[in-house]
Structure 1
Amino acid sequence: MFETRSRSAKIVLQVLVTLMVLPFLFPLVVMVQGSLAGIGWGNYEAVLSRPELPLFFRNSALISIATILLVYACTMLAAFAFSKLHIRGKEVYFWLILAALTLPEVILLTPLFSTTLQLGLYNTYWSVILPLAALQIPFTVLLTRSFMNGIPDGLIEAARIDGANTLRAFWHIVLPLTRPIAAAIIVLTFIGAWNNFLLPLVFLQSPDTQTITLLPTFFIGQFNNDQTKVLAAAVVTALPIVIAYLLLQRLFERGLAAGAIK
């Protein structure tokens, strides 16, 4: 790990890190300040008094949890296969999965809309869960495969000598060792699922299925555009993500670093 010993080097590094953080911190400060403009905390009272808020939170939680479970299961199985199993042409399949990272979400809207209509999934949770998971999996597989490459093959071979099959070796040896990268996957997937605005806007038309990211739109209309309440709604929407990151910060940073380096 890089360390600085001299006082001048520490000062330069601190100034550099501060300058790098400011572009990301400034919009957050402006958002919080704007949410307190006008009637102050009354903006938050107006947001929290919306009758749709508990339903939107529940819908976002259900979609996020289902997406996390789907991404976690597919990522671990795929990364294990790409890293530890002998499969003909697996590198070709791996690069085909990575090619999906080049496809923007907006370009996929039309084929996804047509597919959800044909499958009868339109205006259901699955119309958002499945695309969200599919968009997250290529990147999480890339990270997890790099992490699993650092697990010695000898552990799996020893398990096979003791009579364990591939599935038992995966369940009892590989999964317990992947907890740091699992935390990174959970946080990244949660952020992507909770913050997604475009897919719920297009595929969830019923108020009973809409998510928390659509809450600010209730304060924007033809004759109303209350930006202070929009910003307050944005702050309320972001709080669960901040809390989740703080709870999993240490594991998230370990897993992300290990998945990128190994």
Structure 2
Amino acid sequence: MFELRSRFSRVGVQLLATVIALPFLAALVAMVQGSFAGQGWGNYAKVFATGVVPTYFMNSAIVAGATILIVYVVTMLGAFGFAKLRIRGKEIWFWIILAALAMPEAVLLTPLFVTASTFDIYNELIAVILPLAALQVPFTILLARGFFEGIPTELMDAGRVDGAGTFRVFWHIVLPLTRPIAGAIVVLTLLNAWNAYLLPMLMLNDPSKQVVTLLPSFFTSQYTNDQTGVLAAAVITAVPVIVAYLLLQRSFERGLSAGALK
């Protein structure tokens, strides 16, 4: 990371960061204020009175946890292969994976729906988990590959001299060194999986399988539009992921910095 030596440059960067953050902060403040309009805390009581909050939160936790696990395993193995192993045509495969970054999620909804229906997993959490994981993997592999390339090859060679195979080298030597980038991957995947909206809305019609991002829509229908309930539900939905980010912020920033510098 570059170092800001002069006071003027530090103040300038702080002002720029503040200007960038203000629109997001203003939207957050407006959401919280709107959630207290009218009945105050009663709006939150109204959300919990629906009786679906525990179910929705449990489903979101399952989706987020499973997505993180899949993305972590695939990313670590993929980044290790692309960065450290001699694989024929690996650069071609790497660029094919990166091409998926240009594919908008909305374009994939129809083929994903057809696939879920064909394999009879529609209305199941797995129909959301697998596509979410697949959408995260291209970027996380791009991020992790730079970190893996910075790990000295001499450490791997030393392991091979001691008789370790490729998997043992990866498991015992390389993987323990990837904790910084792993923290960034976990946080990014958690944010994207918890906040997913389009895929759950398409794949999950059963109320017992829906997730927290669909909670605000509980207060809107053809004949009702309870905006205070929508905003209160949105605040409740956002609180866990905000808390998780604050707890993991240091690991997230370290991981991004390490991935960019290696």
Q: Which residue of 2 aligns with 1:114?
A: 114
**Are 1:208 and 2:215 counterparts?**
no
Superposition deviation, residue 5 in structure 1: 4.4
Confirm whether residue 34 of structure 1 aligns to residue 34 of structure 2: yes
Letter in 2 for 1:171: W
Shifted more, 3-12 versus 26-35: the winner is 3-12
Instruction: Specify the alignment match of 2:237 in structure 1.
Output: 237
Q: In structure 2, what is the equivalent of residue 123 of structure 1?
A: 123
Once the two structures are TM-superposed, the CA of residue 175 in structure 1 deviates from its matched residue by 1.0
The alignment-based identity, stated in percent, is 61
* CA distance in structure 2 between the partners assigned to 1:173 and 1:36 by the alignment: 53
Shift of 1:16: 2.2
Aligned-pair CA distance for 1:6: 4.3
Q: How big is the shift at 1:17?
A: 2.0
For the residue of structure 2 that corresponds to 1:87, the secondary structure is: coil
Listed one character per residue, the Cα deviations across residues 26-67 of structure 1 (whole Å, up to 9, x for unaligned) are 111111111111111111111122211101111111111111
How many angstroms does 1:116 deviate by? 0.8
Q: One-letter code of the match for 1:212?
A: V
Q: Distance in 2 between matches of 1:65 and 1:146?
A: 25
1:178 corresponds to: 178
> 1:94 maps to what in 2?
94
Q: Residue in 1 aligned with 2:196? A: 196
Distance 2:20 2:145 in 1: 30
Pair 1:45-2:38 in alignment: no
* Deviation of 1:7 (Å): 4.0
Q: 1:152 to 1:58 in 2, by over 3 A?
A: same
Match of 1:86, SS state, is coil
Q: In structure 1, what is the Cα distance between the partners aligned to 2:10 and 2:253?
A: 22
Deviation string 1:85-140 (CA, Å, 9 cap, x unpaired) is 00010000000000000110110011111111111111111110110000000000
Which amino acid letter does the alignment assign opposite residue 13 of structure 1? V
Q: One-letter code of the match for 1:160?
A: R
What RMSD in Å do the two structures reach over aligned CA positions?
Answer: 1.2
State the shift of 1:9 in Å: 3.9
23-32 or 196-205: which moved more?
A: 23-32
Distance 2:16 2:182 in 1: 31
Partner of 1:164: 164
Q: CA deviation at 1:250?
A: 0.8
Distance across 2 between alignment mates of 1:38 and 1:159: 66
Q: How far 1:14 sits from its partner (Å)?
A: 2.6
Which structure 2 segments of 5+ residues have no match?
none
Is the partner of 1:222 in helix, strand or coil?
coil
Q: Describe the SS at the equivalent of 1:124.
A: coil
Q: Which residue matches 2:144?
A: 144
Counterpart residue type for residue 68 of structure 1: I
Counterpart amino acid of 2:11?
Answer: I
* Structure 2 letter corresponding to 1:96: I
Q: Report the CA distance between 1:222 and its aligned residue.
A: 2.0
1:208 is paired with a residue whose SS is helix
**Is 1:257 aligned to 2:257, yes or no?**
yes
Cα distance in 2 between the residues matched to 1:187 and 1:13: 25
- Distance, in Å, in 1 between the alignment partners of 2:85 and 2:7 is 50
Distance 1:257 1:37 in 2: 41
Whole-angstrom CA distance in 1 between matches of 2:74 and 2:210:
26
Query: CA–CA distance in 1 between the matches of 2:48 and 2:173?
Result: 46
